[in-house]
Amino acid sequence: MLANVNRATPYLFLAPAVLVMAVALLYPIGYMIWASFLDWNPSQRIGEAEFVGLRNYIYLLGDAAFRESFWVTIRFAAIVVTVEMVLGVGLALLLDRKLRGMTVLRTIFILPMMIAPIVVGLMWRYMYHPTVGTLNRMLESVGLPSAPWLSDGTWAFASIVIADIWQWTPFIFILALAALQSLPQSAMEAARIDGASGWQLIWHVKLPLMLPVLIVTALLRLIDAFKVLEVILVLTNGGPGLSTEIVALRIARTAQEFQDLGTAAAMSNLLLILLLVLTILMFGYTRLTERRAARLAAAREAEIT
Amino acid sequence: MPEIVLDGVEKRYGRTQVLPPLDLTLEDGEFTVLVGPSGCGKSTTLRLLAGLETLSGGEITFDGRPISKLEPKARDVAMVFQDYALYPHMNVAKNMSFALRLSRVPKDEIDRRVAAAAEMLGIDHLLDRKPAALSGGQRQRVAMGRALVRDAGVFLFDEPLSNLDAKLRARMRTELAEMRNSIDKNMIYVTHDQVEAMTLGDRIVVMNAGRIQQQGTPEDLFERPVNKFVAGFIGAPTMNFLPARAEGDRLVGEGFDLPHPPGLPVPQGAVEIGIRPSAITVDHGAPLELRVVVAEYLGAQSVLVTRCGPHEVLAEVESATRAKPGETVRFAVDPAEIMIFDPETGTRLVPDGEG
């Protein structure tokens, strides 16, 4: 009897957390999945909405605007994550040394990440302003023509990419720096004695050893990039045209402007599925490396005994 | 195989001096051991030689060529690290061949050299393994192999055996001693273990607090230490030191009265005498009477920890004497084995003509 109680104890302690999780996570997700099968506008209670089966999904797959939006999102995520990875890792490699004032410099580097996205959006909107914005004034002062930062489709897309890179490169930077600083120092010294130049050291030793951290970092950033909303909302609100309308923004607009909660929910689910695939890939990778480590440990064990 | 000269080599970190100016010449083809307690500057000296640290003063020359401004790779040195410093993402073969691949040695040449070194070290069956799948001893061999395939002019060893367990350490020591004879290179080996130093070194450099205390062959250091530090550091169990007074041809102290060693000049007043535990034997007719506190049985030999006045005296005796703790035993000391040190400076009193 007593043993049974003891065995139940951990579950007893976990129960409140499970309850909170169920209410706070599973309930809204279930609600959203259910809503995606409804033709539902905000003036109706959910019970009054008409069940339409897969009609929302079928509509979305045929909707050129949604497909465009999906494509913009993928392009946006792929470009920002690639550039941020290159810049962030590059900066980390440059700043991974003992120099006076480096701590201050590092702190400054990670500041953008700490600013609220809405503020970032507003700040960049002022900088991108066609006449009084910092960027155009700078271009003019050196005699260059001003750029249509937010008024031309291609430029607008570039503008939101730049703002995102500005804000999120520090994230990659600090994780890459942490990875670098946990690398075995003596292996670096051994490589120097083995004759590796600075580049060879980075290419043959540092990067391969950082790879596990970098892959997880890239995936985390990718997931985040798919969901970015506030900065773009403030900067361009999706325009001009559909040039910067990423899926998250389209979801918000579908729900608020078009009053179509069912379609918005269906879109959210499609995004969720995409993110789920990415997450599974990430966990899959972690599991793979763990299993490999376990296998190596087992091999070593067998060797000793 | 260069002759290595350190001329006034210094190292400071900010205001802290970790290595006061040091002069040392390492002969061509020699196995030199730098030995001393932790913090004595031996590892710093090695890292300065490797180019992993920059000199704060002085110059290092290889065969007369100054190298202190050169990058490690331009110095033609190979190094074995205390924690092996293997590349975790490369297998054993790749680890060993890294330097050769960087310097674009032809592939078949690399394969030949890796295979030869691996066979010599008995790790040829492990070439496909990653370091994580190796035991400590195997990693140690790979680290050694990585240095060997380089065929560099100078080999540096930074406490390579100190992460191994006692048994493996003894075996690797023997293998190293064997290897030493087949490799005609300038080898510099840093350790804090005097047994490693004595068994491996052609020449031993004893360091303390950044200064060289003495350099010479193992026999030199054991039989003719220049001061109390070297006498106490070399030899196990460690030498007994007792304060004494020189009275005529006797050395008298609390609990003992020993004859003056023959051949030594007779000092005046206070001295410190040093007696190795191996120079003390059980002799029931001898005048020195000591109470045994602890008997450490080591097999054929036992180390008796005894009391002599307020001091502890170790005696290494045949276990057959069966001395028990609490007993009082009579000991004889070979007068020729008694060393006399200046109590102030720690310098050893030497017979006229020696030193």
pLDDT band at residue B113, thresholds of 50, 70 and 90?
A: very high
| Angstroms from A219 CA to nearest CA on chain B | 22
Residues B173 and B84 in one domain: yes
Q: Is residue A115 part of a domain?
A: yes
Q: Is residue A66 part of a domain?
A: no
Give the highest mean pLDDT range of A84-88, A161-165, A231-235, B233-237. Answer: A84-88
Q: At what angle do helices A102-114 and A64-95 cross, to 10 degrees?
A: 170
User: Do the interacting molecules here have an ipTM over 0.85?
Assistant: no
| Domain endpoint, select from B233, B252, B269 | B233
Give residue A170's domain range: 71-304
Q: Is residue A217 part of a domain?
A: yes
Q: Is residue B352 part of a domain?
A: no
Q: Is residue A28 part of a domain?
A: no
Instruction: Encode pLDDT of A10-24 as tens digits.
Output: 888 999 999 998 889
Residues B24 and B130 in one domain: yes
| Angstroms from A200 CA to nearest CA on chain B | 8
Return the number of CB contacts < 8 Å for A and B.
80
C-beta atoms surrounding B69 within 10 Å: 11
Q: Is residue A39 part of a domain?
A: no
Instruction: Encode pLDDT of A161-219 as tens digits.
Output: 998 999 999 999 989 998 998 898 889 999 999 988 889 999 999 999 998 889 889 98
Residues B216 and B336 in one domain: no
Instruction: Encode pLDDT of B57-91 as tens digits.
Output: 899 998 888 988 888 888 889 999 999 999 999 99
Considering only alpha carbons, which residue of chain A is nearest residue B97?
A194
Q: In the predicted model, what is the mean pLDDT of residues A69-96? A: 92
Residues B206 and B127 in one domain: yes
- Which helix (H) or strand (E) element contains residue A148? none
Q: Which of A189, A195, A209 sits opposite B88 (nearest CB)?
A: A209
Q: Is residue B8 part of a domain?
A: yes
User: Which residue of A98, A100, A186, A193 to mutate against B (max B Cβ within 10 Å)?
Assistant: A193
Instruction: Encode pLDDT of B148-177 as tens digits.
Output: 898 888 899 999 888 888 888 888 888 888
Contact of A77 with A248, CB cutoff 8 Å: no
| Domain endpoint, select from B205, B233, B261 | B233
Considering only alpha carbons, which residue of chain B is nearest residue A199?
B102
Q: Could you write out the three-class secondary structure of B285-335?
A: CCCEEEEEEEEEECCCEEEEEEEECCEEEEEEEEHHHCCCCCCEEEEEECH
Instruction: Encode pLDDT of A81-91 as tens digits.
Output: 999 999 999 99
Q: Is residue B355 part of a domain?
A: no
Task: Please tell me whether residue B349 adopts helix, strand or coil conformation.
Answer: coil
- A43 or B278: which leads in pLDDT: B278
pLDDT at A239 over 80: no
Q: Is residue B173 part of a domain?
A: yes
pLDDT band at residue A287, thresholds of 50, 70 and 90?
A: confident
Number of domains comprising chain A: 1
CATH of the domain at A231: 1.10.3720.10
Residues B330 and B221 in one domain: no
Residues B318 and B193 in one domain: no
Residues of B in contact with A193 (CB under 8 A): 50-52, 72-73, 77-79, 99
Number of domains comprising chain B: 2
CATH of the domain at B335: 2.40.50.140
Q: In the predicted model, what is the mean pLDDT of residues A107-111? A: 84
pLDDT at B217 over 90: yes
Give residue B42's domain range: 4-233
Nearest partner of A196 among B40, B308, B73, judged by Cα: B73
CATH of the domain at B171: 3.40.50.300
Q: In the predicted model, what is the mean pLDDT of residues A232-254? A: 82
Q: Is residue B62 part of a domain?
A: yes
Residues B285 and B161 in one domain: no
Distance between CA atoms of B41 and B19, rounded to whole angstroms? 6
Q: Does A193 contact B at CB distance below 8 Å?
A: yes
| Domain endpoint, select from B233, B268, B284 | B233
